[in-house]
Structure 1
Amino acid sequence: MAIVKSRKVALAPLLSVSIPLAASLAWQPLVHNVKFPQIYASLAFSVIAFVSTLVLIPRFGSTFVKAGLKGRDLLKRSTDDVSVNASLLREGGALY
């Protein structure tokens, strides 16, 4: 099983857009009388979770590999590494 190297993500443009977006989404229910403030809070936390995922996984991925926390997905039923979609593509089958 090969470990895929992560791509570098430009953090400055991502953070300069996403942090003000999350702050404005969280601030809207406090300033304006909105009908569903839970949606704004959910969207704000979703943006924060997306950015933190993009930042933290590449940064700490090598630490988990060094600790031996890598390997095959044990919740999958098949033991082979080839997915069903890739085998259908090789055989000429339709994916829909």
Structure 2
Amino acid sequence: MHDQPFSTNVLTLEILDAICERLENRPSALIFLDHEFSNNEITVLEDFLTQRTLSHIKTPVADLANQLHAVKPTFTPETTRMLARELSTAFLQEDRDAQALT
């Protein structure tokens, strides 16, 4: 995944992961960083959830996983399901998109 195992970015992510693990809190931003989402990919996901919120459409984890797979087609179905669960939990903890997520 990373070209340089001891780059500043990789080491910083490891520290953030360790802190969040101890706090038992994993913010969506860290999930996006850990899985190398681009600005455009995050924007597509945010737009998807915003549209569903505005339309009062509930978004189950399976629908979020499908959207993740559309954004990151190289991810396996298992990975997208895992990420959908993690992001859903993170968004709810952050009080983001709470009306749309189920």
TM-score by length of 1: 0.25
TM-score by length of 2: 0.24
